[in-house]
Amino acid sequence: MSIKLNKMVDHTILKTFAQEEHIETLCADAKKYDFASVCINPYNIPLAKKLLEGTDVKVCTVIGFPLGANTTKIKVAETEDAYEMGCDEFDMVINVGALKDGKYDYVRDEIKAVVEAAKGRTVKVIIETFFLTDEEKVKAVELSCEAGAHFVKTCTGFNEGIATVHDIDLMRKTATPEVKVKASSGIKTYADAKALIEVGAERLGTSSGAKILAEAEELK
Protein backbone atom coordinates (compact mmCIF):
# COMPACT_ATOMS: atom_id res chain seq x y z
CA MET A 1 0.00 0.00 0.00
CA SER A 2 1.49 3.35 -1.03
CA ILE A 3 -0.29 5.12 1.84
CA LYS A 4 0.23 3.93 5.40
CA LEU A 5 -2.90 2.20 6.64
CA ASN A 6 -3.30 4.45 9.67
CA LYS A 7 -3.27 7.50 7.41
CA MET A 8 -6.22 6.10 5.47
CA VAL A 9 -8.52 6.14 8.50
CA ASP A 10 -11.08 8.84 9.25
CA HIS A 11 -11.74 7.93 12.90
CA THR A 12 -15.45 8.53 13.23
CA ILE A 13 -18.18 9.22 15.74
CA LEU A 14 -21.36 10.83 14.42
CA LYS A 15 -23.83 9.37 16.90
CA THR A 16 -26.58 11.51 18.36
CA PHE A 17 -25.41 10.73 21.91
CA ALA A 18 -21.78 11.81 21.35
CA GLN A 19 -20.64 13.82 24.39
CA GLU A 20 -17.36 15.52 25.24
CA GLU A 21 -15.99 12.34 26.80
CA HIS A 22 -16.56 10.48 23.54
CA ILE A 23 -14.79 13.19 21.53
CA GLU A 24 -11.92 13.15 24.00
CA THR A 25 -11.54 9.38 23.60
CA LEU A 26 -11.84 9.65 19.81
CA CYS A 27 -9.11 12.29 19.63
CA ALA A 28 -6.85 10.41 22.04
CA ASP A 29 -7.10 7.33 19.84
CA ALA A 30 -6.50 9.42 16.72
CA LYS A 31 -3.33 10.87 18.24
CA LYS A 32 -2.14 7.45 19.46
CA TYR A 33 -2.53 5.81 16.05
CA ASP A 34 -1.85 8.94 13.97
CA PHE A 35 -5.01 8.57 11.92
CA ALA A 36 -5.77 10.80 8.94
CA SER A 37 -8.62 12.60 10.69
CA VAL A 38 -11.42 12.50 13.20
CA CYS A 39 -14.87 12.78 11.63
CA ILE A 40 -17.36 14.46 13.95
CA ASN A 41 -20.51 16.55 13.98
CA PRO A 42 -20.01 20.33 13.60
CA TYR A 43 -20.79 21.13 17.24
CA ASN A 44 -17.69 19.23 18.29
CA ILE A 45 -15.20 20.98 15.98
CA PRO A 46 -13.80 23.46 18.56
CA LEU A 47 -13.15 20.71 21.11
CA ALA A 48 -11.50 18.45 18.55
CA LYS A 49 -9.31 21.29 17.25
CA LYS A 50 -8.13 21.97 20.78
CA LEU A 51 -7.46 18.32 21.56
CA LEU A 52 -5.57 17.72 18.32
CA GLU A 53 -3.48 20.88 18.42
CA GLY A 54 0.14 20.19 17.54
CA THR A 55 -0.65 17.00 15.61
CA ASP A 56 -1.19 16.39 11.90
CA VAL A 57 -4.54 14.66 12.52
CA LYS A 58 -7.15 16.63 10.62
CA VAL A 59 -10.63 17.59 11.79
CA CYS A 60 -13.40 16.50 9.44
CA THR A 61 -17.07 17.34 9.77
CA VAL A 62 -20.30 16.52 7.96
CA ILE A 63 -22.49 18.83 5.88
CA GLY A 64 -26.20 18.28 5.15
CA PHE A 65 -25.97 15.19 7.32
CA PRO A 66 -27.43 12.60 7.29
CA LEU A 67 -30.27 13.11 4.77
CA GLY A 68 -28.73 15.52 2.27
CA ALA A 69 -32.10 17.23 1.83
CA ASN A 70 -31.20 20.63 3.27
CA THR A 71 -31.20 23.53 0.84
CA THR A 72 -27.99 24.59 -0.85
CA LYS A 73 -28.01 27.81 1.18
CA ILE A 74 -27.98 25.86 4.43
CA LYS A 75 -25.24 23.48 3.27
CA VAL A 76 -23.09 26.44 2.25
CA ALA A 77 -23.73 28.15 5.61
CA GLU A 78 -22.76 24.95 7.45
CA THR A 79 -19.55 24.76 5.44
CA GLU A 80 -18.69 28.41 6.04
CA ASP A 81 -19.33 28.05 9.77
CA ALA A 82 -17.19 24.91 10.01
CA TYR A 83 -14.45 26.60 7.98
CA GLU A 84 -14.39 29.52 10.40
CA MET A 85 -14.00 27.06 13.30
CA GLY A 86 -10.92 25.65 11.60
CA CYS A 87 -12.34 22.47 10.08
CA ASP A 88 -9.96 20.84 7.59
CA GLU A 89 -12.27 18.50 5.68
CA PHE A 90 -15.97 18.47 4.83
CA ASP A 91 -18.03 15.35 4.06
CA MET A 92 -21.23 16.54 2.37
CA VAL A 93 -24.32 14.49 1.56
CA ILE A 94 -25.80 15.02 -1.90
CA ASN A 95 -29.50 15.58 -2.40
CA VAL A 96 -30.30 11.97 -3.25
CA GLY A 97 -33.88 12.73 -4.26
CA ALA A 98 -32.76 15.42 -6.68
CA LEU A 99 -30.26 13.04 -8.24
CA LYS A 100 -32.89 10.35 -8.69
CA ASP A 101 -35.23 12.94 -10.22
CA GLY A 102 -32.58 13.70 -12.82
CA LYS A 103 -31.93 17.24 -11.55
CA TYR A 104 -28.28 16.98 -12.42
CA ASP A 105 -27.56 20.70 -12.71
CA TYR A 106 -28.93 21.22 -9.21
CA VAL A 107 -26.82 18.43 -7.74
CA ARG A 108 -23.65 19.60 -9.53
CA ASP A 109 -24.20 23.26 -8.59
CA GLU A 110 -24.80 22.39 -4.96
CA ILE A 111 -21.59 20.38 -4.71
CA LYS A 112 -19.72 23.22 -6.43
CA ALA A 113 -21.16 25.73 -3.96
CA VAL A 114 -19.90 23.68 -1.01
CA VAL A 115 -16.49 23.25 -2.67
CA GLU A 116 -16.26 27.02 -3.11
CA ALA A 117 -17.31 27.62 0.51
CA ALA A 118 -14.54 25.24 1.66
CA LYS A 119 -11.97 27.54 0.00
CA GLY A 120 -9.59 24.85 -1.14
CA ARG A 121 -9.98 22.54 1.84
CA THR A 122 -10.93 18.92 1.18
CA VAL A 123 -14.53 18.14 0.24
CA LYS A 124 -15.78 14.55 0.15
CA VAL A 125 -19.14 13.91 -1.49
CA ILE A 126 -21.33 11.22 0.07
CA ILE A 127 -23.51 9.72 -2.65
CA GLU A 128 -25.41 7.19 -0.47
CA THR A 129 -24.79 4.18 -2.71
CA PHE A 130 -27.45 2.09 -0.95
CA PHE A 131 -30.22 4.14 -2.59
CA LEU A 132 -28.75 4.29 -6.09
CA THR A 133 -28.63 2.09 -9.14
CA ASP A 134 -25.21 1.59 -10.72
CA GLU A 135 -26.15 4.12 -13.40
CA GLU A 136 -27.06 6.67 -10.72
CA LYS A 137 -23.81 5.97 -8.84
CA VAL A 138 -21.85 6.67 -12.02
CA LYS A 139 -23.77 9.90 -12.56
CA ALA A 140 -23.24 11.02 -8.95
CA VAL A 141 -19.51 10.44 -9.25
CA GLU A 142 -19.34 12.28 -12.58
CA LEU A 143 -21.20 15.28 -11.17
CA SER A 144 -18.93 15.34 -8.12
CA CYS A 145 -15.85 15.37 -10.34
CA GLU A 146 -17.30 18.13 -12.53
CA ALA A 147 -18.04 20.20 -9.41
CA GLY A 148 -14.47 20.06 -8.11
CA ALA A 149 -14.84 17.58 -5.25
CA HIS A 150 -11.69 15.96 -3.86
CA PHE A 151 -13.28 12.63 -2.88
CA VAL A 152 -16.42 10.64 -3.55
CA LYS A 153 -17.68 8.60 -0.62
CA THR A 154 -20.07 5.66 -0.33
CA CYS A 155 -22.40 6.06 2.65
CA THR A 156 -23.40 8.07 5.71
CA GLY A 157 -23.72 4.96 7.86
CA PHE A 158 -27.16 6.13 8.98
CA ASN A 159 -28.96 3.80 6.58
CA GLU A 160 -28.66 0.13 5.71
CA GLY A 161 -25.95 0.62 3.12
CA ILE A 162 -22.33 -0.34 3.65
CA ALA A 163 -19.20 0.11 1.58
CA THR A 164 -18.86 -2.74 -0.91
CA VAL A 165 -16.06 -3.87 -3.19
CA HIS A 166 -18.42 -3.51 -6.15
CA ASP A 167 -19.25 0.11 -5.36
CA ILE A 168 -15.66 1.15 -4.66
CA ASP A 169 -14.51 -0.48 -7.88
CA LEU A 170 -17.27 1.27 -9.84
CA MET A 171 -16.56 4.64 -8.22
CA ARG A 172 -12.81 4.37 -8.80
CA LYS A 173 -13.28 3.45 -12.45
CA THR A 174 -15.69 6.35 -12.94
CA ALA A 175 -13.88 9.11 -11.06
CA THR A 176 -11.21 11.22 -12.71
CA PRO A 177 -7.64 10.38 -11.59
CA GLU A 178 -7.32 13.37 -9.25
CA VAL A 179 -10.54 12.54 -7.36
CA LYS A 180 -10.10 9.96 -4.63
CA VAL A 181 -12.56 7.42 -3.22
CA LYS A 182 -13.59 7.03 0.42
CA ALA A 183 -15.21 3.84 1.68
CA SER A 184 -17.48 4.36 4.66
CA SER A 185 -19.89 2.22 6.70
CA GLY A 186 -19.56 -1.41 7.72
CA ILE A 187 -15.75 -1.52 7.75
CA LYS A 188 -15.08 -3.59 10.86
CA THR A 189 -12.02 -5.76 10.10
CA TYR A 190 -8.67 -5.64 8.34
CA ALA A 191 -10.09 -8.04 5.75
CA ASP A 192 -12.87 -5.52 5.02
CA ALA A 193 -10.38 -2.68 4.74
CA LYS A 194 -7.89 -4.59 2.58
CA ALA A 195 -10.56 -5.66 0.09
CA LEU A 196 -11.77 -2.08 -0.33
CA ILE A 197 -8.27 -0.63 -0.61
CA GLU A 198 -7.33 -3.17 -3.26
CA VAL A 199 -10.05 -1.85 -5.59
CA GLY A 200 -9.26 1.80 -5.06
CA ALA A 201 -10.32 3.18 -1.66
CA GLU A 202 -7.82 5.74 -0.35
CA ARG A 203 -9.70 6.70 2.79
CA LEU A 204 -11.76 4.61 5.21
CA GLY A 205 -14.53 6.00 7.39
CA THR A 206 -14.72 3.73 10.42
CA SER A 207 -14.87 3.59 14.20
CA SER A 208 -12.86 0.35 14.13
CA GLY A 209 -9.49 1.80 13.11
CA ALA A 210 -7.58 0.52 16.14
CA LYS A 211 -8.93 -3.00 15.64
CA ILE A 212 -8.10 -2.91 11.93
CA LEU A 213 -4.51 -1.82 12.62
CA ALA A 214 -4.08 -4.51 15.28
CA GLU A 215 -5.28 -7.21 12.89
CA ALA A 216 -2.97 -5.92 10.17
CA GLU A 217 -0.03 -6.05 12.58
CA GLU A 218 -0.84 -9.64 13.51
CA LEU A 219 -0.64 -10.68 9.86
CA LYS A 220 2.85 -9.24 9.31
Q: What is the pLDDT of residues 17-45, one digit of tens each?
A: 999 999 999 999 999 999 999 999 999 99
Query: Does position 219 have pLDDT exceeding 90, yes or no?
Result: no
Rounded to the nearest 5 degrees, what angle is found at the Cα of 128, between the Cα atoms of 140 and 138? 25
Percent helix, strand, coil in the chain (nearest 5)? 50, 15, 35
Q: Which of 75, 124, 182, 192 is catalytic?
A: 182
49 classed as catalytic: no
Say which CATH number the domain at 82 has: 3.20.20.70
| 153 among known catalytic residues | yes
- What is the model's pTM? 0.97
Task: Give the β-pairing of 201-206 and 180-184.
Answer: parallel
Q: Per residue in 135-149, pLDDT tens?
A: 999 999 999 999 999
Active site residue: 10, 58, 75, 91, which one?
91
pLDDT of residue 1: 47
182 as an active site residue: the answer is yes
Q: Is the peptide bond before 177 cis (omega within 30 degrees of 0)?
A: no
Q: Which domain holds residue 147?
A: 5-218
* Residue among 88, 161, 93, 159 nearest 126 (CA): 93
Q: How many domains does the chain have?
A: 1
Kind and range of the H or E run holding 103: none
Catalytic choice (139, 153, 167, 192): 153
Q: Per residue in 67-124, pLDDT tens?
A: 999 999 999 999 999 999 999 999 999 999 999 999 999 999 999 999 999 999 999 9
- Cβ atoms of 92 and 124 within 8 Å: the answer is yes
Average pLDDT, the chain: 97
